[in-house]
Amino acid sequence: MNEHLIIGLKGTELTDQEKVWLKEKPPLGVILFARNIETPEQVKALLADVRNCTGQDTWAAIDEEGGRVNRIPWAPFNCRRHAAEYGAMYLENAAAAEKAVYEDSLLTGRALKALGFTHNCAPDLDLFHEQGHAIIGRRAYADSTEIVAALGQACLIGLLDAGIEGVGKHFPGHGRANADSHVAVPEVDADLNTLFEESEPFAALIQGGLKHVMTAHVIYSAVQPEVATLSPFWVHHVLRERMHFFGRIWSDDLCMKGVGEDVLHAARAALKAGCDTLLVCEPEGVAAVYADLL
């Protein structure tokens, strides 16, 4: 399983235990959060230490969407617009909005590349829904599939041009969800045709070069009783077979309450459903998974 894992780290330096895990069962990658970040030099050193332990060009991911989803406390990361601001700009001048998103993503991507990162968990391809939980809110570009697809594509191309892979999220869509999947199991009761229509930004970006898609910890109750991350219907049938996506399918963080209390069980279920990239972000969850691996 370790070759599918992207793991969170405890602090700003590797612990002795993390060094053992990285050397004996190298993960596919690591993901950094604010707890792991102090200075540019420290981040570079931390990622270099990870790769020294694994002996591989291990992936390094982060969530730098802009707006309130920001982990790195210096420019250009900590002064970026919310996605919704670009959506409002698009209504006034579509070309200017696409250019602004591209330039922002290119600048961000270059800065991430310089620190040693390989992947940014962006763009957010969810639609804005007034009645949806605020966990998405202004992270969504707009309530229109056309605008979300256009600006999401501009973000993706900016990142790719900087040498950073983008990760589109949260498939098939988190905007309607009635809860925050970090702390609860959200549900959406929309019918299948509506959900297919609202997942169009994912289809558009897959055609436009998106190689990484992150699933939603959401139950779409009119379609399936399972959380999408753990559902072969959503992961394999829809994303692989219907949408012809042949890149990497990332689970959202398997430490989140949206997939239950047992990280190891969630990891196995996500893998069985068809996710091939498993995010385990919290140190306690990483310890639980590695206790099983070693």
180-203: per-residue pLDDT in tens?
A: 888 889 999 999 999 999 999 999
Check residue 128 and give its pLDDT. 97
255 within 8 A of 280, measured Cβ to Cβ: yes
Alpha carbon distance 76, 66 (integer Å): 10
Neighbours of 113 (CB within 10 A): 15
Residues 103 and 80: beta-carbon distance below 8 Å? no
Q: Is the pLDDT of residue 261 over 90?
A: no
Taking 90 as the threshold, does the pLDDT of residue 244 lie above it? yes
pLDDT at 175: 96
pLDDT tens-digit profile of 78-131? Answer: 999 999 999 999 999 999 999 999 999 999 999 999 999 999 999 999 999 999
Q: Which CATH superfamily is domain 2-293 in?
A: Glycoside hydrolase, family 3, N-terminal domain (3.20.20.300)
Helix residue ranges, H only, 162-262: 192-198, 200-207, 232
Residue 218, pLDDT > 90, answer yes
Q: Are strands 119-120 and 165-166 parallel, antiparallel or unpaired?
A: parallel
Average pLDDT, the chain: 97
| Residue ranges covered by each domain of the chain | 2-293
182 as an active site residue: the answer is yes
pLDDT tens digit sequence for 4-32: 999 999 999 999 999 999 999 999 999 99
Q: Report the pLDDT value the prediction gives residue 106, as an integer from 0 to 100.
A: 98
Q: Which of 182, 189, 262, 292 is catalytic?
A: 182
Catalytic residue (one of 63, 104, 124, 252)? 252
What Å distances lie between residue 265 and 5, 18, 281, CA to CA?
A: 14, 22, 15
Q: Is 38 a residue whose pLDDT tops 90?
A: yes
- What local confidence, expressed as pLDDT, does residue 294 receive? 82
Average pLDDT over residues 52-68: 97
Q: Phi and psi of 232, rounded to 5°?
A: -60, -30
